[in-house]
């Protein structure tokens, strides 16, 4: 059980530095390790209606927890302005996340504003959203109509009792399954279902989840429990390596590996030998994929994080709210990405007790 600690959402964040000479975006930015900028994750709220034990444990995110006031959140107009600048720098994929993104009021309005943005290549922006699925049955149609391409739904168990224990707010699994069906009917596919596997907590759900989604329109992916944030009391002993997940499934339902779809794809894909679809594994702990990480994260209140495990953000909102020009902000973004050398998962140090070291930002604050 994690001890009661006070979390600072607002870890020290310098304003994003603006270079002295403006420069026009070329769409071909590379960071210090030669990685392009391809994928922007935008957190639209730091609030959530779940208290997943590995992400927002109740003991920390209780009634006294200080969430961001509304005035600190980036407005839809600010987000859209920033997104347009990122797209000019080569971003082709935007994922809305949180917290629980569907808690942000009128989110479909933001989806519509982002959908209207053009790209330099003329290819449509890949616009997607990660959700716990609790509000999807109600919102799937409006999101699709506004221009959302697809959704990824987090689901950690099929067994109702295990699921209620994982979300820790007594939410029924049947409601998420209805949400999944609604998203499928609305055409928000291909839909991925993400299951975080925690040893001793939901490992007995690996096979039931595999059996349930095999041959369905949904692509199931197993995620290694990660040492994000400071509140979940992470310990290496609770991680089930993806290789073990694949062994367990393969023993009953034979599998073969499939090649990656594109550079930077985080999931390793496996297909069922009987032709009934595939599963994926995201091995963030045991097989780091920093070498082709093309992701940048924008927090709810406008801080840029060059890595999920960053201890410090870069304050973009300060530039947005002080009348800086698009050219200034664009130059600042380019300079930040060029200097990026993050590769936390490749260099993670775990001490002899199995604990990872370092003070990190919360997943519920910058999104997954």
Q: Which residues contact ligand SAM by CB under 6 A?
A: 48, 54-55, 97-98, 100, 130-132, 154, 194, 196, 223, 225-226, 228, 232, 363-364, 367-368
Kindly state the tokens that stand for 331: 């130059």
Q: Where are the alpha helices (DSSP H) in 15-167?
A: 76-88, 107-115, 136-146, 160-167
Q: How far is the CB of 156 from ligand SAM (least distance, A)?
A: 7
- For residue 226, the partner it binds in ligand SF4, ligand SAM, none, with Cβ less than 5 to 8 A by kind, is ligand SAM
340 makes contact, choosing from ligand SAM, ligand SF4, none, with CB < 5 to 8 Å by partner type, with none
Query: SS3 of 292, please?
Result: helix
Question: Using CB distances below 5 to 8 A depending on partner kind, what does residue 194 bind out of ligand SF4, ligand SAM, none?
Answer: ligand SAM
Torsion of CA 185, 186, 189, 193, to 10 degrees: -70
Partner interacting with residue 290 (select from ligand SAM, ligand SF4, none; CB below 5-8 Å by kind) = ligand SF4
8 Å CB contact between 107 and 101: yes
Comparison of 99 and 302: residue with beta carbon closer to ligand SF4: 99
Least Å distance between CB 138 and ligand SAM?
16
**In which residue are the tokens 């071909």 written?**
28
Footprint on this chain of ligand SF4 (rule: CB under 6 A)? 48, 50-52, 55-56, 98-100, 132, 154, 288-290, 293, 295, 307-309, 342-345, 364
User: Per residue in 190-212, is it b (16+ CB within 10 Å) or e — as a string?
Assistant: ebbbbbbbbeebbbebbbebbeb
Q: What is residue 30's three-state secondary structure?
A: strand
Distance (Å, rounded) from C-alpha 223 to C-alpha 280?
A: 9
CB of 352 to ligand SAM, least distance (A): 21
- Structure tokens that stand for 170 in this block: 């007594």
Residue 110's binding partner out of ligand SF4, ligand SAM, none, with CB under 5 to 8 Å set by partner kind: none
Smallest gap from residue 78 Cβ to ligand SF4 (A): 22
Whichever of 50 and 76 has its CB closer to ligand SF4, that residue is: 50
């Amino acid at each position: 059980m994690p001890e009661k600690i006070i979390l600072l959402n607002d870890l020290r964040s310098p304003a994003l530095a603006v270079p002295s000479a403006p420069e026009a975006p070329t769409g071909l930015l590379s960071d210090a390790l030669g990685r392009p900028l391809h994928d922007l994750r935008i957190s639209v709220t730091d609030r959530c209606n779940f208290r997943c034990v590995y992400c927002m444990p109740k003991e920390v995110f209780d009634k006294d927890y200080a969430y961001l006031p509304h005035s600190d959140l980036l407005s839809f107009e600010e987000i859209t302005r920033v997104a347009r600048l990122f797209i000019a720098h080569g971003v082709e994929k935007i994922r809305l996340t949180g917290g629980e993104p569907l808690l942000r009021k009128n989110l479909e309005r933001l989806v519509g504003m982002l959908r209207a943005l053009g790209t330099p290549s003329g290819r449509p922006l890949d616009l997607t959203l990660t959700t716990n699925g609790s509000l999807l049955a109600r919102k799937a149609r409006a999101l699709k109509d506004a221009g959302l391409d697809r959704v990824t739904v987090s689901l950690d168990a099929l067994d109702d009792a295990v699921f209620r224990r994982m979300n820790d707010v007594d939410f029924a699994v049947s409601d998420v399954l209805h949400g999944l069906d609604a998203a499928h009917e609305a055409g928000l596919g291909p839909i991925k279902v993400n299951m975080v596997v925690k040893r001793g907590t939901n490992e007995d759900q690996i096979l039931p989840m595999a059996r349930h989604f095999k041959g369905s329109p949904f692509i199931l992916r197993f995620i290694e429990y990660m040492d994000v944030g400071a509140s979940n009391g992470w310990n290496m002993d609770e991680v089930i390596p993806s290789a073990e997940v694949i062994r367990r499934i393969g023993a009953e339902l034979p599998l073969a590996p499939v090649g990656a779809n594109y550079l930077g794809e985080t999931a390793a894909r496996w297909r069922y030998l009987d032709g009934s679809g595939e599963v994926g594994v995201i091995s963030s702990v045991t097989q780091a994929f920093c070498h082709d990480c093309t992701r940048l994260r924008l927090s709810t209140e406008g801080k840029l994080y060059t890595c999920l495990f960053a201890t410090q953000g870069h304050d973009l909102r300060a530039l947005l709210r002080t009348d800086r020009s698009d050219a200034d902000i664009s130059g600042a973004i380019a300079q930040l990405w060029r200097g990026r050398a993050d590769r936390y998962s490749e260099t993670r140090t775990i001490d002899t007790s199995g604990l990872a070291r370092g003070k990190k930002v919360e997943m519920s604050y910058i999104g997954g």
